[in-house]
Amino acid sequence: MNRLDKEIIKLSDYCKEINYDLKDYLGYKHLNNLSIRFNFKKTNNNIIYKVNFQFNKFKKEAEYIRKNNIGLPFELNNIIANFVEENYYINLDLEQNIPDNYPFEKPIFKLKKCNSNINDYTETIKKLCIKFNKYDNWTAMILSYILFLDFMILLNKNIIINLLSLKTQKYR
C-alpha cells in the first residue's frame, strides 16, 4: 500500500467530519443558510472532488410568509414566499491528477465541470486552478487532501465571498 492509498483511506474515514467541519474551516459556521458539501472518488491516478455550495438568501422571511397569514389566500402566500426566497448554488467537479512520482511532485488540479445559477464562474475557477498549480511551495510532507483544503481557501477568497454578498437580483 503506497502513501496515496493511505491518504485516501484516511480521507474516507474522516469524510463525514471534514464535510461537517468544512464550513467552520472556511469561517462560515455561523451561517445557517449556507451549505457546503463535498465527496470524492479515486480512480487510477486521479481524485475527483465534487463540491457543492448552496446559499439560501431570505430563507427566514420566506418561512415567515409561509407560516403566517399575511392577509392573502394560502396559495398566494406560497407563491410570494417562493419569489422572496433566493437559492444560489455552485457545483464543482475538480480533478486532482496525482503524478507517478508523488509525493515528490505536486498534484495538479483541473476543473472538470462547473454548474451555477448565478454567473458563469467557469473561467474564474479555471484561472484559479492555473494560479494554484503555479505555486512553487510544494514539499513531500503535504498530504493531497490538505492541498484540496488549501484550494478551497483560494476558492473561498475569490468566489464564495461574492456568493454571500450577492444583491437581491436573481440570475437564471
DSSP bridge partners of 115 = 91
Supply the pLDDT for residue 169. Answer: 45
Supply the pLDDT for residue 114. Answer: 82
Report pLDDT digits (tens) over 108-152. 888 888 888 776 667 777 777 777 777 666 677 777 777 777 777
Encode burial over 38-70: b for 16+ CB neighbours within 10 A, e otherwise.
bebebeeeebbbebebebbbbbeebeebbeeee
Q: How do the domains of the chain map onto residue ranges?
A: 3-164
CA distance 45 to 58: 43
Supply the pLDDT for residue 12. Answer: 63
Distance, C-alpha 101 to centroid of its chain: 29
pLDDT tops 50 at residue 172: no
Report pLDDT digits (tens) over 1-20. 566 666 666 666 555 555 55
DSSP secondary structure string, 73-94? -HHHHHHHHHHH-EEEEEEEEE
- The model carries a pTM of 0.69
Supply the pLDDT for residue 163. Answer: 64
Work out whether strand 46-57 and strand 34-42 pair parallel, antiparallel, or are unpaired. Answer: antiparallel
Three-state DSSP class for 164? helix
Report pLDDT digits (tens) over 29-42. 666 777 777 777 87
